[in-house]
Structure 1
Amino acid sequence: MERRTFIAGAVAVSGVSAVGGATLSAAAEPDGSGSTADHVRGVTAITKVFGAGQKLVAVAVEYDREIDGSALSTSTFAVTDRTVTKVYANRTAELAERGSDGRYVIVELSPDDTAAALWVTQQGSGTGTATPSPSASSSGAPGGGGPKVGDSTPGGTIVAAKASLVQKGTVTTARGTRYPATGTTLTTDKVVNLIVDDFQQFTYDDSATGQTLKYNLFVPMNYDPRKRYPLVLFMHDASVVNVATEGPLVQGLGAVCWASPEDQARHECFVLAPEYGSVVVDDTYKPSTLFDATAGLVEAVTKKYSVDENRRYTTGQSMGAMMSLGLNIKYPDLFAAAFIVAGQWPSEQAAPLADKNLWILVSQDDDKSYSGENAITKVIQEQGTEVGTAVWDGQSTAAQFAADVRNLEKQKAPVNYASFQTGTTVAAGSGTSAHMGTWQIAYTIPGIRDWIMRQSR
């Protein structure tokens, strides 16, 4: 599947192109004469999704000649409101550990810059926040003082990926031609959204409920209908309701982590991420008909593609975690395993979960979800099912989390329950709650996903 490229605003008039307000000749002199800007053929913004959401992480400047990467440095370019961390040449408009001489100069930018954030929530993202609205709860959880079932007020905003930069130093071609510094401002005219662009967008009409669902679907790159593939359903939290269809892909890692090249190399699978137009469930635990429509969507995708019915999985955060629990109770044959992140469900309904493979992750200072999961796992144990338990430090390194997963797996329980120590899921002053901080970390731990993928119904 080819990565789609979104055009953000290229302009062409009578054979000339406009970049940053300067009119550039369509044909550069072959010997390198003319202004430096004449040799720029395009500027591409590159985005990447992190736990806190999508960010603009690089700009790729395309020249008309192959560029000598050895002559580049972080001072070669200045990007408005951004910190340049790395500059190198490359053959394509892509990030690389090590560059190679090519027509593109990749200008990498700090993801910690305030201006990097492209997903901005009303509940705090750590890098940028919108003005709070009455529809957004302080914890980011549905119910309580937050959004109610049927509320369609968006809790987050997708910011367009744009950047402006100036070439402040000399760029030298592989043949030695020098393109001197220039005061011309270059602006991005294309966008490459890493992993996000590998999803397709569709709508599903559910005949049983009359509901229409927008959804994103990742199809394995080398899909072969003669094979059978696992499917992962990701359901977003209440802050993502009623935004663009791509909302579940840019709000954090919950959907895109399963579609990363690294995960797909280990576990080829479909990834399904609906975009809900309104809140589906709140703390009354009486979901709207979008709940049942979601089960219909899973079945419809299973029938359309070669999906293994015994290896369908569900995951979600907050509202999505609640839906994952509820769907496992109401539709016990739908999923083989579930990754539950910062959610809860009435314990008096939890007995059927004793027959499920679950990995539960919550923060101990997320009062509602933590107490809710404690009640659920108590019921599961009372039903005679073993529950493996562990307490983790949310600030652990990747290696430490990998060891944490292995140690919990050694308990050989069908239900694994890990909780983050109080105060370890959020940085001081970030404005992010422990509730939201949980899922910003949860989907960065590949060992949990590996465990999920080993389960079968």
Structure 2
Amino acid sequence: MYTDPSTGYSMPYNLYLPKNYDPAKKYPMVVFIGDASVDTNDPKTSLYQGNGGTIWAEPAEQAKHECIILIPHYTDDLINELGMMTTDSNVWTPGLTLTWDLIFDVTKKYAVDTDRIYGMGQSQGGMANIAISDKYPDFFAAQLLVACQWNVEEMKAMKDKKLWIIVSQGDNKAYPGMSSAVSLWKSLGTKVAEDGTFWDTKGSWTDLEAKAKALEDTGYSMHFTVFKDGNHMYTWSVAYNLETVRDWLFKQKKEVAK
């Protein structure tokens, strides 16, 4: 439980530390924020609405990418006291202040490599990631944004970010929203890795991984993937299973200004 000295509010969170955690070392940290459907008073709901938070703790994943995992949990009580963490008005909220203060506190408290903090989330969580990245542009080394959208004009600030964006064709908010953002970034000179197809997640998984590898091989910092059909919640039942995307994320490191 985190109690924020600046607001006085408390927020639970889930934290995973590597098996042989050594506070003298520095570890990458994954920050996963769930969608609004997990905003209950049971903090465990953030752990099983999809695998966006837990997949990084799987033994095979930790063997490749040993990391700390932070999963902030926004509760129903906080909704009643502060309002939703994110809203369709795309503004910074008191809930985002609390969430950010929690993330920053954990970053200071544990042995985190601040050049390798990875943000990700779905729906509400993806929106929170965008908002945080807009306000604190030097915090995340890279982000995985799933089934989310934000004010497109504000997203101009993200044109040089290291992003992998995944939406479903049938998501009537995230798909058009992120398509507009991609068009904006391209108009500003950003190179975006996309193949112009809808990925069939019911087909060959080998083909999906090959498609992801082809996007990674472009060497571009930004990637845009659209799943065929699907809907808003379907997106995150598949997105985090793409090993190529997970591996890409951990290759990223914050660039130090010279």
> Under a length normalisation based on structure 1, what TM-score does the superposition of the two structures give?
0.52
Pairing partner for 1:451 from 248, 253, 256: 248
Q: Is residue 2:194 matched to residue 1:389?
A: yes
Distance in 2, matches of 1:210 and 1:286, equals 21
Deviations 1:385-414 (A, max 9, x none): 211113311213332222121111122110
Q: Is residue 2:55 matched to residue 1:248?
A: no
Greater C-alpha radius of gyration: 1
Partner of residue 169, structure 2: 364
Partner of residue 148, structure 1: none
* 2:194 partner SS: strand
Distance in 1, matches of 2:247 and 2:22, equals 22
The AA in structure 2 aligned to 1:448 is V
What aligned pairs does 1:220-299 form with structure 2 within 5 A after superposition?
Answer: 220-277=18-75, 278=79, 279-299=84-104
Superposition CA RMSD, Å: 1.3
Distance in 1, matches of 2:100 and 2:35, equals 17
Partner of residue 311, structure 1: 116
Give the superposition deviation at 1:336.
Answer: 0.6
Distance in 2, matches of 1:328 and 1:363, equals 23
* 1:335 partner SS: coil
Give the superposition deviation at 1:384.
Answer: 1.8
* 1:247 partner SS: helix
* 1:246 partner SS: helix
Q: How many residues matched? A: 245
CA contact (8 A) 1:345 1:372 kept: yes
CA contact (8 A) 1:204 1:212 kept: yes
CA contact (8 A) 1:281 1:319 kept: yes
Distance in 1, matches of 2:143 and 2:176, equals 19
CA contact (8 A) 1:211 1:289 kept: no
Moved more, 278-287 or 256-265: 278-287
Percent identity of the aligned residues? Answer: 39
Distance in 2, matches of 1:206 and 1:379, equals 37
> Under a length normalisation based on structure 2, what TM-score does the superposition of the two structures give?
0.91
Larger helix proportion of the pair: 2
Give the superposition deviation at 1:287.
Answer: 4.1
Partner of residue 440, structure 1: 237
What aligned pairs does 1:10-159 form with structure 2 within 5 A after superposition?
Answer: none
Give the superposition deviation at 1:444.
Answer: 1.4
* 2:193 partner SS: strand
Larger strand proportion of the pair: 1
Give the superposition deviation at 1:274.
Answer: 1.1
Name the structure, 1 or 2, with higher relative contact order (CA <8 Å, separation 6+): 2
Q: Is residue 2:143 matched to residue 1:346?
A: no
The AA in structure 1 aligned to 2:71 is A
Distance in 2, matches of 1:335 and 1:410, equals 22
The AA in structure 1 aligned to 2:97 is D
* 2:114 partner SS: strand
CA contact (8 A) 1:211 1:290 kept: no
CA contact (8 A) 2:120 2:145 kept: yes
* 1:367 partner SS: coil
Q: Is residue 2:12 matched to residue 1:214?
A: yes
Which segments of structure 1 move beyond 6 Å, counting only runs of 4 or more? none
* 2:153 partner SS: helix
Deviations 1:245-269 (A, max 9, x none): 1111121101001111111010000
Deviations 1:88-121 (A, max 9, x none): xxxxxxxxxxxxxxxxxxxxxxxxxxxxxxxxxx
CA contact (8 A) 1:388 1:408 kept: yes
Deviations 1:402-438 (A, max 9, x none): 21211111221100001112x2x3xxxxxxxx11111
Distance in 1, matches of 2:4 and 2:138, equals 19
